[in-house]
Structure 1
Amino acid sequence: MMLASLWLTALAILFLIALSGFFSGSETALTAASRARMHQKEKSGEPGASAVNQLLQSRERLIGSLLLGNNLVNILASALATTAFLSLFGEAGVVYATLTMTLVVLVFAEVLPKTWAISNPDGFALKVAPYVRVVTLLFGPLVIAVEWVVVRLLRLLGVDTKEGQFLSGQDELRGAVDLLHMEGSVVKDDRDRFGGLLDLEELDVSDVMVHRTNVMSINADDSSTSIVEQALKSPFTRIPLWKDEQDNFVGILHAKDLLRALALVKGEPEKLDIMAVASEVWFVPDTTSLKGQLNAFLKRKSHFSLVVDEYGEVMGLVTLEDILEEIVGEIADEHDIDVKGVKKEPDGSVLVDGSVPIRDLNRVLDWKLPDEEATTIAGLVIHEARQIPEPGQGFTFYNFRFRVLRKDRNRITSLRITPVK
């Protein structure tokens, strides 16, 4: 009779250990499962994905139910094992039961199922989700009561459970992409495109605009023949027109509009009224976000605008292509002048034009120079040096050595940058 009782107790303990492994593995799989992948699986109609998503919508209830079930079966299994060992070994059975159950629970109810679950969390979660839903329904009321008690106890200790630091969706996506890049699942170009897309909200048009010192423009008071010649020699499709002074922009000359007008006057440019051909200038504030400007371009079906500061002074121009390049990288066509301003040297240093944007340099060389205080690499050197350096001067910051090679008046035109090993 006693032998039969021991066998029944052993079978009950094995069953409880299996249940404990189920709870442990389910907790690991469901907390590690990707919500994005599960959402996509549910849309494609994969069985079990809907149950997983419903469980993940209430993580506290899910984890509380699994912990409650896990502790319940572990304690019950330990109690049965202690009773069995006491009948076999007397008072020493307590020690034997403690050592045996610790080893069994650790291996078969914790490490083994959790390792199995983490090796394929999505697949494991899909299989156990229907059964876990039953567990959450059974233990749900008790878990709610426990949560209520815990919240009150924490409040007595001065802990507000509603406070917390949560990542925004953009930060979460950025972190996931960076992690996948470190693991080798996402290549650098794709990581840069994801990052550029996420940065649109944080960047202003002043961060990507072409500065007015580099803007090609045409004097509207020039003869029609001269304006046509300048437009045809230009590599750009849209060219700003100015009158009286170079900051007084009065129109935008589009190459297609100019060609249509030339066709109407049978190729005689002296008969053209340039201002009648030019379109109206669109001015935008320099504080406009790239996302907002992209939406404005799409809404107005325009690709070109001039950027002004708070005083109404023209700072530069921004195009749809400038914004798209923040996402996909440099876009070049057969009419672009291929001057990147970045040249790698055999000794590991890099020759850089002062006007090269810091973001472009980081993208090309996979560096992490800060771009909060300056837009161009020359601006960063001036900001950190707190002076306008002379040719030959060198500075070291952010683990790079910056040496000024050339300067034009107060502008740094060429630098040599060497990573500090």
Structure 2
Amino acid sequence: MDDISTGSLLLLLTLLLIISAFFSGTETAMMSLNRYRLRHLAQQGHRGAKRADKLLQRPDRLIGLILIGNNIVNIAAASLATIICQRWYGDWGPAVATGGLTFIVLIFAEVTPKTLAAHYPEKLAYPNSLVLRPLMTLCYPFVYFINLISNGLLRLMGVAHIDGNDDHLSPEELRSVVHEAGGLIPRRHREMLVSILDLEKVTVEDIMIPRAELYAIDINDDYRAIIRQLTHSPHTRVLLYRDNIDDVVGFVHLSDVLRLLTKEGQKESDKGTLLRAVREIYFIPEGTPLNVQLLKFQRAKERIGLVVDEYGDIQGLVTLEDILEEIVGDFTTGLQTPPSEDIRRQEDGSLLVDASITLRDFNRETQWQLPTDGPKTLNGLILEQMEDIPPPHTQLEVAGHRLEVVEVAENMVKSVRVNPSV
């Protein structure tokens, strides 16, 4: 070293600091890469992404390679700095070299490159992987030996083998990713994606049309009355029953009825004609999650079903359209009136609410958080809270919100007044 000029040693020290900055920045850039974007780019054929993805499949080896290179460079730089400072400051050289090099390494080889890499990981990681790949091949025996010892120590501490394929997302984490996508995904699309994830939390009871609101026809009625009800039906599928809705006959599609009536002639048609048009009923157990029911509808080639409890009693009706509307929002004329028709704003700013509205729809419209793990409608929630049928003008507080009963009829709360600001 005595034969090498101080200027040459300074140039060599500068080169070592640049290499140290390279390793430090590359480590941060590789570890800051968005793994899902990385895999997407790799599948699209991006060469830099392919190289980085392959290196990250074994992060222990990648980190080992970078730290081996970085430590060798930093130790060599410390030795050179000591020699240079001894020439300049004599016995004070080692102390000056330690303090000065620590400051220089922190600023120029650690903080600055790592901060830059954290802000622009792809711009550094992809081109730098061109250097890391051949280095990995060249230093593989040394890296393998270091990782063998390191992984052995980790196993002694109860840490399993580490690889780059454990970054799976739970539904909650995926929901957070969708929310944080921001402008990368249109707001409407984000809402649909979150709705799909929420299907497993919602059951058929939450969206079904209650049995009290079903449009159904008693097949034992007068034939002309039945035809008149079919003619004025708001739906294309109508439920038929005998005397009691629990004794269901089946669904009849109006197009089938029209075809049979046209074929046989109105003079010859009778209730037997309607019964020949009846389709078999598809039953759905209560408590079935919507994501499960959606698949069942698909496999069974069905679009409508009756929800039954453990005793076989009919609780309500669910259609394929109801489930799809949970994802994309209202797009058809459903069996229920939209929430906006159940909630009417008054002149004083209060809301007059039809108490038959489901709590999920009410919460969605008002941004409240009324409990949905019990009764499914606002009427049911009020009856549960009061443990009685309250008279009009009764006021109660639920989940921090004040409700006022406006109308009671047929043993049910019909309408409620709420103040959205309370």
Going from structure 1 to structure 2, the CA distance change for 1:396 and 1:303 (only over 3 Å counts) comes to closer
How far apart, in 1, do the equivalents of 2:418 and 2:227 lie?
42
How far apart, in 2, do the equivalents of 1:376 and 1:130 lie?
62
User: Residues 50-72 of structure 1: CA distance to partner in whole angstroms, max 9, x if unpaired?
Assistant: 22222233334333433443344
Give the unaligned 5+ runs of structure 2: none
Shift of 1:316: 0.7
Instruction: Say what the alpha-carbon RMSD is for the aligned residues.
Output: 3.3
How far apart, in 1, do the equivalents of 2:104 and 2:347 lie?
61
Shift of 1:308: 0.8
- Taking structure 2 as the reference length, what is the TM-score of the superposition? 0.84
User: Residues 260-317 of structure 1: CA distance to partner in whole angstroms, max 9, x if unpaired?
Assistant: 1222134558535211111011112113222222122122222101111111111111
How far apart, in 1, do the equivalents of 2:290 and 2:10 lie?
68
Q: Which has the larger radius of gyration?
A: 2
Contact 1:388/1:410 (8 A) holds in 2: no
Give the equivalent residue in structure 1 for 2:103: 103
Task: Name whichever of 114-123 and 254-263 sits farther off.
Answer: 114-123
User: Residues 177-201 of structure 1: CA distance to partner in whole angstroms, max 9, x if unpaired?
Assistant: 12234xx554543332111111223
Going from structure 1 to structure 2, the CA distance change for 1:201 and 1:334 (only over 3 Å counts) comes to closer
Give the equivalent residue in structure 2 for 1:253: 252
Amino acid paired to 1:108: F
The secondary structure found in structure 2 opposite 1:288 is coil
How far apart, in 2, do the equivalents of 1:237 and 1:345 lie?
35
Give the equivalent residue in structure 2 for 1:46: 46
How far apart, in 1, do the equivalents of 2:361 and 2:161 lie?
43
Alignment of 1:74-153 (within 5 A): 74-137=74-137, 138=139, 140-153=143-156
How far apart, in 2, do the equivalents of 1:291 and 1:37 lie?
27
Contact 1:196/1:326 (8 A) holds in 2: yes
Give the unaligned 5+ runs of structure 1: none
Going from structure 1 to structure 2, the CA distance change for 1:69 and 1:252 (only over 3 Å counts) comes to same
The secondary structure found in structure 1 opposite 2:181 is helix
- Taking structure 1 as the reference length, what is the TM-score of the superposition? 0.84
Shift of 1:402: 4.0
How far apart, in 1, do the equivalents of 2:88 and 2:190 lie?
63
The secondary structure found in structure 1 opposite 2:316 is strand
Identity of aligned residues (%): 34
User: Residues 369-419 of structure 1: CA distance to partner in whole angstroms, max 9, x if unpaired?
Assistant: 553444334445566x4745734313152x644444444465444344446
The secondary structure found in structure 2 opposite 1:48 is helix
Give the equivalent residue in structure 2 for 1:173: 174
Going from structure 1 to structure 2, the CA distance change for 1:218 and 1:82 (only over 3 Å counts) comes to farther
Contact 2:366/2:420 (8 A) holds in 1: no
Going from structure 1 to structure 2, the CA distance change for 1:126 and 1:274 (only over 3 Å counts) comes to same
Going from structure 1 to structure 2, the CA distance change for 1:106 and 1:411 (only over 3 Å counts) comes to farther
Give the equivalent residue in structure 1 for 2:356: 355
How far apart, in 1, do the equivalents of 2:75 and 2:324 lie?
60
Task: Name whichever of 72-81 and 216-225 sits farther off.
Answer: 72-81
How far apart, in 1, do the equivalents of 2:90 and 2:267 lie?
116
Task: Name whichever of 307-316 and 262-271 sits farther off.
Answer: 262-271
Contact 1:400/1:420 (8 A) holds in 2: no
